[in-house]
């Protein structure tokens, strides 16, 4: 019995399953498809590859131009403390936006805390950022925090909260 596809055929066994020749045909077809997929352009592990579009050209192709964003201060010995940080409110309407909450220094020593809120589009473009640095917060102590930013993007955004403890560089 043979199963016919176009001009080609695959030998089949009595039970309707591909016979030995059919399995070989399927294996060759699968390897051919995988080989072609491996040869097509895609993400390169080489960070210097010129075939990948830059983030600015990718944003430009989507019609987005990210605004100038404040830098996030670098910390020596940075430790994520997001689990000990709350976001009580975050406005998302275009114009002046703010976010606030509480953060706890969950480390064993006095630390500088950096809380960042990014206003992010559905396609992960950061359209506004607020950063606050709380210096010298004793171990185990909680502090209120608040950030402000200017959001000109007219579509829906989400508030993304990050927080770290360490020593300001």
Note the pLDDT tens digit of each residue in 67-117. Answer: 999 999 999 999 999 999 999 999 999 999 999 999 999 999 999 999 999
pLDDT at 15: 57
What would the mean pLDDT of 114-139 be, rounded to a whole number?
A: 97
Strand order in the sheet with 142-151: 89-90, 95-104, 142-151
Q: Tokens at residue 39, please?
A: 């040869």
Q: How many CB atoms lie within 10 A of CB 142?
A: 14
Is the pLDDT at 26 greater than 80? The verdict is no
In which residue ranges of the chain is CATH 2.60.40 found?
67-168
Q: Is the dihedral of CA 37, 42, 45, 50 positive or negative?
A: positive
pLDDT at 17: 53
pLDDT at 81: 98
Is the pLDDT at 132 greater than 80? The verdict is yes
Q: How confident is the model at residue 27 (pLDDT cuts 50, 70, 90)?
A: very low
Q: How confident is the model at residue 66 (pLDDT cuts 50, 70, 90)?
A: confident
Task: Supply the CATH classification number for the domain 67-168.
Answer: 2.60.40
Give the chain's mean pLDDT. 78
DSSP 12: B
pLDDT at 2: 47
Report residue 93: phi and psi, to 5°: -80, 145
């Amino acid at each position: 019995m043979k199963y016919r596809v176009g001009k080609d055929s695959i030998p089949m066994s009595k039970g309707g399953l591909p016979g030995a020749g059919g399995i070989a045909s399927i294996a060759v077809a699968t390897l051919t498809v995988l080989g072609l997929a491996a040869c097509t352009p895609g993400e390169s592990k080489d960070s210097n590859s010129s075939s990948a579009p830059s983030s600015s050209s990718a944003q430009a192709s989507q019609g987005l131009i990210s605004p100038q964003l404040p830098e996030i201060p670098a910390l020596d010995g940075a430790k994520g403390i997001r689990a000990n940080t709350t976001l009580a409110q975050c406005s998302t309407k275009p114009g002046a936006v703010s976010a606030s909450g509480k953060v706890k220094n969950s480390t064993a020593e006095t630390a500088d805390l950096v809380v960042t809120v990014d206003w992010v589009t559905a396609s992960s473009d950061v359209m506004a950022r607020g950063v606050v640095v709380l210096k010298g917060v004793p171990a185990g102590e909680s502090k209120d925090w608040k950030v402000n930013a200017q959001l000109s993007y007219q579509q829906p955004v989400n508030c993304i909260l990050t927080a770290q403890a360490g020593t300001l560089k």
